Amino acid sequence: MRSTHVYKDDSLRYLFTLLLFVIILIEEAFWSVFEALSGWFARFALVRKLEDFVAARHPAVCLALFLIPVLMMLPFKFAGVWLIANGHTLQGLFMFLSAKACGTFLAARLFAITKSKLMSIAWFAYVYVRFSAWKEGVKAYIHATEAYRSYRHFRDGVDRWVAGVLKRRD
């Protein structure tokens, strides 16, 4: 017979894995769309000049610039959670996911532009390497599930559709 302590640990592990599964699915869904959009935006001379300006900054400035979109979106995420907690589920979910999408898009682009500068900050590089290794282990576990494979099949179709829409705009 299993002890309740082991059962609680398994339940917490299951809930934590489920939460990570959802976070990774959202991140991966946003990431592919964001890569396509950022490539489209990079065509514009003003955007390229701004990106070159940012990339030429001191590593500490790059770190501050990288954190700004994350911090700017926090109040909107909290407002989304508050709306959900107060019975406005769809509005709260929309606000939370919109804030997550905007923050992730800006942070991902800034990270791509400033990664070499950010990695020159010793503590940032240390945390990034450790976090990346942990995250890859979690992703490998989740990618091995049947649920993820089904999701991936669906998302590949969405990616092809987005790429087609962006090509037609060129």
Enumerate the domain spans of the chain.
Answer: 4-169
> Distance (Å, rounded) from C-alpha 114 to C-alpha 119?
9
Taking only the tens place, the pLDDT of each residue in 135-154 is 888 888 888 888 888 888 88
- Work out the average pLDDT over 42-47: 86
In this predicted structure, the answer to whether residue 25 has a pLDDT above a threshold of 80 is no
pLDDT band at 5 (very low <50, low <70, confident <90, very high): low
Higher pLDDT among residues 9 and 105, named by residue = 105
> Distance (Å, rounded) from C-alpha 86 to C-alpha 165?
37
- Nearest 5°: the CA angle 132, 137, 139 is 90
Q: What is the pLDDT of residue 7?
A: 53
Residue 3 phi, psi dihedral angles, 5° rounding: -80, 155
Taking only the tens place, the pLDDT of each residue in 96-113 is 988 888 888 888 888 888
Compute the mean pLDDT over every residue in the chain, rounded to the nearest whole number: 84
